[in-house]
Amino acid sequence: MEGTVVAVVLLALLGLIVLKSGMRVVNQVERGVVFRWGKALPSHRQPGITFLIPFADRMRKVNVQVVTMPVPTQEGITKDNVSVKVDAVVYFRVTEPLRAAIEVQDYHFAVGQVAQSSLRSIIGKSDLDDLLSDRERLHEGLALMIDSPAAGWGIHIDRVEIKDVQLPESLKRSMSRQAEAERERRARVITADGEFQAAQQLANASRIMSDTPEAMQLRLLQTVVEVAAEKNSTLVMPFPVELLRYFDRAAANLGAQNTGTQNPGPQNPGPQSTGPQNPGAQNGEAQIAGAEIAGAEIAGAQNPAVESPTAQKALGLAADFIAKSLPEQQPQENDGRP
């Protein structure tokens, strides 16, 4: 009796040992691939407690989480012959644990090598502008190149992103100068556009003022009020341009008369008058010439920028005319006639 009890206890202990040796726990993020006598079973084990046949089954756990794998920096030459260094990152996960455990020895290493070769290939097929600005299209193409061989291994490539593009220092300086020149060009265009619009508005205002002369007078008074509001001791009054034009025309007429005096026509051989000339007429001509010279001097003093060459010539002619007429204004000797 006692021997039977001992045998039952021994058998129970042996059963527990065997049962414990065949019991396995699969985590939530893993899947179990069972090899029985070296042959993989067609279905993988789900998360939880699973039992294996002792000494016959062997289970390999495969992680199905998303794996983040950085791609080492790859140096290459772009399509437009620029040497760059590019690094990227790959996000992938196992979708078929059985194929990932059977088809490839180390799928982490395999995906890393494919990612490096694909990155160098995409660098050679792209321009520098695409690497800097059109990265979304490059990401799609790079993911497609890596996903083609990885799909046979039971691996799905979620996404691939280019992290950084390292450029030579000389190229960075050239790009900075180009960007500075572009910003300066835009600033000049904006300034020229503003000046063009301002000129258009000024032209419209001048047309309106030419149609209504009273507007010019009102604008003049407004300018005087604005200048007087500055509490200045000097008040600048603008000189009318029409007055300068009047002096210019008067000087031109005087020059024409002087030219006719210097080039007289054929003289009349008839008797000449020997009587005294009229000093009042000469004095009046001298006063007119003096007024013209004074007006031209006032115009030049008020606004030297608008003094014309014709006015300067007229001033010279007027001075000559006055010099010739002054001796004639002196009182003549008394010859005894009243």
Predicted pLDDT of residue 278: 45
* DSSP per position, 284-325: HHHHHHHHHHHHHHHHHHH-GGG--HHHHHHHHHHHHHHHHH
Predicted TM-score (pTM) of the model is 0.51
Predicted pLDDT of residue 195: 92
Region 282-288 average pLDDT: 47
Give the tens place of pLDDT for each residue, 186-205.
999 999 999 999 999 988 88
Give the tens place of pLDDT for each residue, 54-102.
888 888 888 888 999 999 988 888 888 888 899 999 999 999 888 888 8
Predicted pLDDT of residue 335: 45
* Pairwise CA distance, residues 52 & 271, whole Å: 158
Predicted pLDDT of residue 321: 53
Region 264-273 average pLDDT: 45
Map 76-123 to HEC letters: EECCCCCEEEEEEEEEEEECCHHHHHHCCCCHHHHHHHHHHHHHHHHH
Comparing 20 with 41, the larger pLDDT belongs to 41
Query: Could you tell me the two tokens for 32?
Result: 């179990």
**Residue type, position 53, single letter:** I
* C-alpha dist (Å) from residue 257 to 23, 260, 310: 133, 5, 14
Adjacent-strand bridge partners of 82: none
Q: Which helix (H) or strand (E) holds 148?
A: helix 135-150
* C-alpha dist (Å) from residue 10 to 5, 18, 20, 53, 93: 9, 12, 15, 20, 47
**Residue type, position 103, single letter:** E
* Pairwise CA distance, residues 327 & 283, whole Å: 11
Given a cut of 60, whether residue 170 has pLDDT beyond it is yes
Give the tens place of pLDDT for each residue, 94-108.
998 888 888 888 889
Given a cut of 80, whether residue 268 has pLDDT beyond it is no
Predicted pLDDT of residue 242: 67
* Pairwise CA distance, residues 259 & 256, whole Å: 5
Q: Give the three-class secondary structure for 54.
A: coil
Instruction: Choose from 111-120, 163-172, 280-289 the range with maximum mean pLDDT.
Output: 111-120
% of residues, the chain, pLDDT over 90: 12
Please name which of 84, 167, 159 lies closest in space to residue 124, comparing C-alpha atoms: 84
Given a cut of 80, whether residue 137 has pLDDT beyond it is yes
CA quadruple 227, 228, 233, 236: dihedral sign: positive
Give the tens place of pLDDT for each residue, 216-226.
778 777 877 77
**Residue type, position 89, single letter:** V
Mean pLDDT rounded to a whole number for the chain: 75
Range scoring the smallest mean pLDDT among 44-53, 117-126, 161-170, 230-239: 230-239
Given a cut of 80, whether residue 180 has pLDDT beyond it is yes
Given a cut of 80, whether residue 309 has pLDDT beyond it is no
